[in-house]
Amino acid sequence: MSITPCVLGFAQRLLASAPLLLPCSPAISATELARSRCKLHRLPAAAMEDGAAAREAERWEGYVDWRNRPAVRGRHGGMLAASFVLVVEVLENLAFLANASNLVTYLMNFMHYSPSQSATTVTNFMGTAFLLALLGGFLSDAFFTTYAIYLISAFVEFLHGANVLQGLVVLTIQARTPSLMPPGCAKVAGAACEPVSGPKKAMLFAGLYVTALGIGGIKGSLPSHGAEQFDEHAPRGRKGRSTFFNYFVFCLSVGALIAVTFAVWVEDNKGWQWGFGISTIAILLSIPVFVAGSRLYRNKVPTGSPLTTIAKVVLAAALARRGGAQSASNGAVIDRAPSPTGSTDMKEYCKPGDICGVADGAAEVATEPSQELVFLNRAVQRQPRCGALSCTVQEVEDVKIVLMVLPIFFSTIMLNSCLAQLSTFSVEQAATMDTRVGGLKVPPASLPVFPVTFIILLAPVYDHIIIPFARRATGTEMGITHLQRIGTGLVLSIVAMAVAAVVEVKRKNVASNAGMLDAAAPLPITFFWIAFQYLFLGSADLFTLAGLLEFFFSEAPARMRSLATSLSWASLALGYYLSSVLVTVVNSATGRGGRRAWLQGGNLNHYHLERFYWVMCVLSTLNYLFFLFWAIRYKYRNAGVIKG
């Protein structure tokens, strides 16, 4: 009788194990016993396969932990992990705005810059910092995780180069060291102070722009890192992500509130070295706070340059042979939805030849892209002349999404221009008004406390009252869609500009009636009138910024999310630049023919600021119509759903 290798193997082990393995039963043959042991031998292998499958199901596909090991469900991600990001945002924005909010005063009083030079320097610094968020987002998508980019950026902001102090440390040292400051100056009539120059100026700008580089990296990575902690395939995860973005803006405002109150007071009363010191300590503390959540984070694996994909698809569509053979089609087309609920499913689009699941459980091969931006479909419908430009349906759809969100991005620049412009002129308005609150005199530079306070109060109300009510009223998961939220912010910005114009008319009427048009004394009108325009602006900022962050993150392809989310900060930067352009254009247009320009002169009471506000109101209205045109036509991602 032939015996299989399995029987031989077990027969050799029977002598040692028989007393433990043989049951107290009637005798069985050696062959039957060996066969039973073969079955017993195979059972652990099957169990091991089931265990491996279970472990595979527990992993977050495409995510790793801080040690580059596969991220596991139940251990990585969730609101607890995102909470560390929220605390870090308080410290990061405190460090940023503690300097930016009062930097004009520092440059004028200590670096002896003129008002125009100081304003230009601050505008360029803040605009550059926000634009560099695009670099941080690009690096997070292409080469590094958001976890790594944040740590690198925080260290760059704190230190730059081996043993060479830069960033906030440079500014702190320079503010504390007299030899690194420009020569002292007694401000007398007709005497001009010598501004900072040479190596001292180089040190100042090195510190500012290394700080801007670090800020850009943080802004480009931190929101995406927090949003990546939520399971986008489950309603609970999508709702948690929405809550995260609301509270991200809330924490951003908390940091700003501390900056424009405590930090500004320290700078004005204790010295600028202490103000820069607060910023340095804040960004330094944010690093261990961020690292403390390392064991909880799940980090998206970078998938290469998104710009390469965009360039490849555009070139493939442009160079595709117009008369070439069209690819075979079975009529399976990627669908899009008018609601964002389906879009948050975030399954990958089907590639030609792949099998994709549809809603009814059937399988179908998707070979046709969607019907939006059909000129890009040539990249997959016709063979390109260069094999290196071969594209998949998924890549074409990814590029389409990027192009379709750009009009939404452009429509928010005007809102940010209103925010930047009002934060300048509103402070000057308040400086002419009665700023007393009881026995306390509030400095006009602290006026930004109004919008950030409104955001801090409104964010919890929005998340815990307005959104639940909207969900019950509409019967939808989101309650209010991303574009509806952005549109609400744009409408509020129009109202804010109209209110600002009306308040300015009232302020000038008070000055005229009191005969104080040329007086330096405060006007008999409380500065709380300015709070009304800040109320609407703060509300607009909450709706639009949080809505933009979530819209760009949820709509963007997985490989481009950090870069797309950074567009929110780029919009803010372009808004700052546009505000300066608008002032220049208005003055140039209204100052012709020997007439006095609307926004020139040494006395705000002789400005036509109310007319400028009405111009901004009209431009904001036209901008909203532009937004409405594209928002109505926009279809959200309905990833993974194939329409045959």
pLDDT in tens, 559-578: 888 888 999 999 988 988 88
The residue ranking higher by pLDDT, 184 or 411, is: 411
Domain residues of the chain, as ranges? 60-177+198-299, 402-643
In contact, 555 and 563? CB cutoff 8 Å: no
Over residues 307-312, mean pLDDT: 86
Over residues 477-491, mean pLDDT: 90
Superfamily the domain 60-177+198-299 falls into: MFS general substrate transporter like domains (1.20.1250.20)
Which of 223, 228, 283 is CA-nearest to residue 251?
223
Q: Is residue 499 very low, low, confident or very high in pLDDT (cuts 50, 70, 90)?
A: very high
- 107 pLDDT more than 80: no
- 322 pLDDT more than 80: no
The predicted pLDDT at position 276 comes to 72
Q: Is residue 119 very low, low, confident or very high in pLDDT (cuts 50, 70, 90)?
A: low
- 5 pLDDT more than 60: no
- 394 pLDDT more than 50: yes
DSSP string, 357-396: E-TTS-EEE--B--STTGGGGHHHHB--SSGGG---HHHH
The predicted pLDDT at position 639 comes to 42
Q: Is residue 291 very low, low, confident or very high in pLDDT (cuts 50, 70, 90)?
A: very high
- 88 pLDDT more than 70: yes
- Which CATH fold would you assign to the domain 402-643? Growth Hormone; Chain: A; (1.20.1250)
> In 3-state terms, what secondary structure has residue 539?
helix
Q: Rg for the chain (alpha carbons), in Å?
A: 31
> In 3-state terms, what secondary structure has residue 238?
helix
pTM of the model: 0.77
**H-assigned helices in 432-560:** 449-461, 467-474, 482-513, 530-555
The residue ranking higher by pLDDT, 28 or 141, is: 141
In contact, 201 and 181? CB cutoff 8 Å: no
The predicted pLDDT at position 623 comes to 95
- 213 pLDDT more than 60: yes
Q: Element (H or E) spanning 128, and its range? A: helix 115-131
pLDDT tens for 330-383 read 455 555 666 665 443 334 444 444 434 333 333 444 567 777 788 888 878 766
Q: Is residue 56 very low, low, confident or very high in pLDDT (cuts 50, 70, 90)?
A: low
Same fold: 60-177+198-299 with 402-643: yes
> In 3-state terms, what secondary structure has residue 440?
strand
In whole numbers, what is the pLDDT of the chain averaged over residues?
76
Across 125-129, 199-203, 251-255, 542-546, the highest mean pLDDT is recorded for 251-255
The predicted pLDDT at position 289 comes to 94
Over residues 80-91, mean pLDDT: 94
Q: Is residue 73 very low, low, confident or very high in pLDDT (cuts 50, 70, 90)?
A: confident
